[in-house]
Structure 1
């Protein structure tokens, strides 16, 4: 049984849209693409390298898949660990419109997302990694299918853009499993999903 692990970049105000470049995702007239670039120091790169030591397969949203597929197949240096993993390992894309993917090792999955991803986890030996793919991560969290989230928060507020934890998300509790902060101020925190929240009150008992 595999673990479904999400690694996602967000701003301080929770925006996940277009971290990598100005034209990456301009939905809604978004003009702040590329907001993560200036924070990519050695510590940040080391974390990304560590993540890419562990995948057994990848599960990618359609938009993230298209971005990756336009770049990583062109990177053929065997010393590039990220490219080597992405190009060699199985990639799965939930989509009703992607019919003939050109990137080798890609399988399109359709139908019931919960059923398909559960089956995919059951036959994966190791980490089934989701990178970016904010809308897909939202759905997977709501379905209770995510095991671990690496939430990478950058010290910038944008004010507009698609947010990861939006109104109506299923209430979810997380258990902190580790973290670090890079010299550039990027907070890298890891959480295991731990079910539904617990509730209490700070009010003093009447007879206290």
Structure 2
């Protein structure tokens, strides 16, 4: 069975947004000052040599406008080669392939993909998909790249109302730039306190 790893770049206050998206977000590309060769290597290792992508439509469109135009880059080569499973209402306009459009039932589609053959899946940049996948037990691991920045505004990693979850620390690593890379295994629902 294929595993699903959620990888997110995140601020200390839980913001994952990195571009304006038409909503006036003021801190476009706020992760740039912290990028280092060591961080790049850690991110490449976290993704692995081969993987497929699970993406929301907005992330797909942003990445499709960038990664195919980056020649000779190890991350670009891996992302371009990956099959992109895209949650979208406009499947006819998917050009960056290999690609497969997913329908209205995200959980059932992800369950089908995970049961099939192929490399593990990486979900990145699509904050609206994270909460429902965690709620239905579809994610196996969460890897957070935590930046030493407080943004105060922007899209958050977990949506309000996401069911409580327990996580087990798998690994953590501090980078000289101040970034902390932390990997968690999903432990399941968080038990409620007994009254």
TM bin, normalised by shorter chain, reads over 0.9
Structure 2: gaps (5+ residues): none
Distance 1:125 1:135 in 2: 24
The aligned residue for residue 2 of structure 1 is 2
Distance 2:40 2:170 in 1: 20
The answer (yes or no) to whether the contact 1:26–1:33 under 8 Å persists in 2 is no
* Cα root mean square deviation, aligned: 1.6
TM score, norm. by length of structure 2: 0.92
Match of 1:60 among 30, 55, 58: 55
Shift of 1:99: 2.0
Distance 1:192 1:56 in 2: 18
Distance 1:129 1:55 in 2: 10
Distance 1:183 1:195 in 2: 33
| SS of residue paired to 1:195 | strand
Distance 2:53 2:159 in 1: 24
| SS of residue paired to 2:52 | strand
The answer (yes or no) to whether the contact 2:5–2:142 under 8 Å persists in 1 is yes
Distance 1:12 1:27 in 2: 23
| SS of residue paired to 1:92 | strand
The aligned residue for residue 43 of structure 2 is 48
Q: Deviations over 1:65-87 (max 9, x none)?
A: 1111001112232xx22111111
The aligned residue for residue 70 of structure 1 is 65
Q: Deviations over 1:77-106 (max 9, x none)?
A: 2xx221111112211101112422111201
Distance 1:174 1:93 in 2: 26
Match of 2:23 among 28, 33, 39: 28
The answer (yes or no) to whether the contact 1:56–1:124 under 8 Å persists in 2 is no
The answer (yes or no) to whether the contact 1:57–1:124 under 8 Å persists in 2 is no
The answer (yes or no) to whether the contact 2:135–2:163 under 8 Å persists in 1 is yes
User: How many residues in Structure 1 have an aligned counterpart in Structure 2?
Assistant: 194
Match of 1:38 among 33, 39, 54: 33
The aligned residue for residue 206 of structure 1 is none
* Greater shift in the superposed pair: 83-92 or 147-156: 83-92
Structure 1: gaps (5+ residues): 19-23, 202-208
